[in-house]
Amino acid sequence: MKVVDTIPRMSTLVKIFKKEGKSISLIPTMGYLHEGHLSLVRAARKHTDVVVMSIFVNPMQFGPKEDFEKYPRDLKRDEHLAASAGVDVIFHPSVSDMYPAGYSTYVEVCGLGDTLCGASRPGHFKGVTTVVAKLFQIVRPNIAYFGQKDAQQAIIIKKMTEDLNMGIEIKIMPIVREPDGLAMSSRNAYLSPAERKNAPALYESLKKAETLVRSGEKDAAKIIKATEDMIRVIPNAKIDYVSMVDPRNLKKIKTVTGETLIALAVFIGKTRLIDNIIVKGAK
């Protein structure tokens, strides 16, 4: 496995791969890898000749009061995990390489980034789409892999790719969960033992919502209230949002008539966790 830390070196390597007729997959990450990331690697390994994983904590997608400085980082650990899962190249650029002095170009998908996580994290998805667009330009992948846990991000990136005719296939892979149901996330490392014990209740609340839908409940307000009621009994929990939206365009729904994305963001102590589930209304 190669570790490449500059854009020119990565671009040169990509040219070699392309000249050899090799297909490339890209898995964009911010590092501190877990099984969710590694499941993307294993999927990519089946479909392309070369698997590239980017590890870059992108300052552009963090707000001024968010956790950019303390975001967990451990490159040596990540290298070991990536190699064991089948990554061929880790691309680990510096902030100054990605955003040199005078950088002033941004990519934004209008509309989709203003709701859900975007409502409480203004500018976040502008930072996500900008860095992903840059990574796509540098690595030139045939396929890029993302996780369903970041459902809004995945929908926005698919829209960007389509609108800009990037010619990259976007594959969205299922959420990988801990045995107790907690969605795997690098930010889970922030949780205290007590908070970690309570955090799986978020998934339990989503499963409750799914049960209501399957039993015939169609009123989104009632489903959301039942979900929020379960969350409110979690110690030190603060709801950012619980929402039911159309997974195609992220518009809020009032009545469940088809496939629906139920998404939530909740602070457990100081740690903001997100999760989601897709449900289908009863016929």
Cite the active site residues: 37
Q: What number of CA atoms fall less than 13 Å from residue 192's CA on the CB side?
A: 8
Q: Comparing C-alpha atoms, which of 212, 112, 115 is closest to residue 162?
A: 112
Q: Which residues of 139-152 are buried (b: 16+ CB within 10 A; e: fewer)?
A: bbbbbbbbbbbbbb
Sheet containing 2-4: give its strands across. 2-4, 89-91, 50-55, 24-29, 143-147, 169-173
For the purposes of burial, counting CB atoms within 10 Å of the CB of 172, is it exposed (0-12), middle (13-18) or buried (19 or more)? middle
Residue pointed to by tokens 């870059």: 56
The amino acid sitting at 276 is N
Cα–Cα distance measured from residue 245 to residue 144, given in angstroms and rounded to the nearest whole number: 25
Q: What is the CA radius of gyration of the chain?
A: 19
Q: What number of CA atoms fall less than 13 Å from residue 30's CA on the CB side?
A: 20
Q: What number of CA atoms fall less than 13 Å from residue 212's CA on the CB side?
A: 21
Q: What does the block give as tokens for 190?
A: 């922030």
How far does Cα 27 stand from its chain's mean position? 11
Strands 2-4 and 50-55: unpaired
